[in-house]
Amino acid sequence: MPTLFDPARFGDIPLANRVVMAPLTRNRAPGQQPRALMATYYAQRASAGLLITEATPVSPLGHGYADTPGLHAEQQAEGWRQVTDAVHAAGGRIVVQLWHVGRISHSSLLPAGEVPVSSTTTPSGVRTLVHQPDGSLGMAPCTPPRALRTEELAGVVADFGRAARLAKQAGFDGVEIHGANGYLLEQFLRASINDRSDAYGGDVTGRTRLVREVLDAVAAEMGAGRTGIRLSPVTPANGAPQDPGAQATYEAVAQHARQLGLAFMEVVEGATGGARDHAPFDYAALKAAFGGPWIVNNGYTREMALQAVASGAADAVAFGRPFIANPDLVRRLRDDLPWATYDRATCYGGEALGYTLYPPYDEAVPVPV
C-alpha cells in the first residue's frame, strides 16, 4: 500500500505526496482582491502534495465574511495569478475552492440593497465577520436571507461556471467546489434547511439538483479531471441542523460525481473543527459510492494520517489549522518533528503577523524552559 509521502495522481492533477492543505479562511484580501502577501503565504506551504485555497466566492452575492478574495472578475483572476505562479515556482500544485455562502452573510458585505440568499427564508442564527464602523473587524449576526427564486438558480450555476473559467485563466491546477459547512450548496442539500416546494426541494433528487448542475457546469469549464468537491455530511457548522436522510442525500451527490469522473472528493468527518463522532454516518459507503480519489479531513494526527493512507481508508489526508503555524508541515510529518501552535488572535485579518511570519522548523526560536 502507498504511504502518506508517496506521489499520487488525482484525475489530471499530479501530487508529490498525499498531504493536502485544507481550505483556511484568513481574511487578508481587502476589497475582495487577492494580493502579493497571499502569494508568499501559499508558496511557503507548497511542499504539500496539494494546496486548496481559502474559500473564494463566485459572485458578489456569494461573499459572507470581510476581506475574502473573490473569483468573479478579471482583476481578481490577475491577482490570483500571482499566487499560482509563486506556488508553481516552488514546485507545488494548487486548486481554488469555489464558494457561495448563501445565508451566512451580512448585508454590509453585499452589493447595495441586497440581502443574503438561500434555499429558504429561515435565518441561520449565527454570526459572521464584518467591518465595524471604526474599520476593525468584528462579529455581527447574519442578515435574514431571502429564498432564491427558481428562475435565479441558473444564474447561480453560471456563476460557478464563470469562476471555473477564471480559475483556468489564473493558472490554477484545478478547483474544489465547496459543498460543505452549511453554506449555499449544503443549504439546498439538507432537508433540515431546504423547505422549498419547487424542483430544487423536496426529495433527494430535488435537493441535490443544484449541486449536480454546479458540478456539471464546473466540470464542463475546468475538466472533470481537475474538479473536486468538499462535503461535510453531519457537521452542524453555521447553524446546519442534522438531516435524518443524510446518507442517501450525500451518496446521491457522490454517485453523480463518480459519473462525471471527478478528480477527488474531500470529506469532513464529523463536526468541522470539532468532534469526529458528532453523529453517525457511514463514510466507507460514501467512499464506495464515489469510487475515486478520497481525501479525509478533521482532526487528523500524524499517526491517524499514516494509518489512513497505509490501510487504504484514504488516498490523502487534509490538514487545516496545523498548516497555519507550520509552513513545512510535510517535513514535520515525515520526520516526526514537533508542530508549532498558531495564535488565534492573529488568525483572521491583518498583515504578515500570524500569516507569513511563522518559521519552518530549522528557523524556529527555541522556547525558554
What are the residue numbers of the active site?
A: 183
What count of other Cβ atoms lies within 10 Å of the Cβ of residue 150?
Answer: 12
- The grid coordinates listed for 166 are 477564471
Question: Contact, 215 vs 262, CB < 8 A?
Answer: yes
What count of other Cβ atoms lies within 10 Å of the Cβ of residue 60?
Answer: 15
Query: Cα(112)–Cα(283) distance, rounded to whole angstroms?
Result: 42
Query: Cα(36)–Cα(34) distance, rounded to whole angstroms?
Result: 7
Burial group, residue 317, by CB count within 10 angstroms (0-12, 13-18, 19+): buried
* Local structure of residue 91 (DSSP, 8 states): T
Instruction: Name 296's bridge partners.
Output: 267, 317
Query: Which residue, chain included where needed, has cell 497571499?
Result: 38
Q: Which residues, in sequence order, are CB contacts of 338 under 8 Å at separation 6+?
A: 332, 361
- The grid coordinates listed for 90 are 516552488
What count of other Cβ atoms lies within 10 Å of the Cβ of residue 364?
Answer: 15
Question: Contact, 60 vs 72, CB < 8 A?
Answer: yes
Q: Phi first, then psi: what are they for 258, rounded to 5°?
A: -65, -45
Concatenated DSSP letters for 179-241?
E-TTSHHHHHH-TTT----STTSSSHHHHTHHHHHHHHHHHHHH-GGGEEEEE-TT--GGG--
Query: Cα(257)–Cα(216) distance, rounded to whole angstroms?
Result: 9
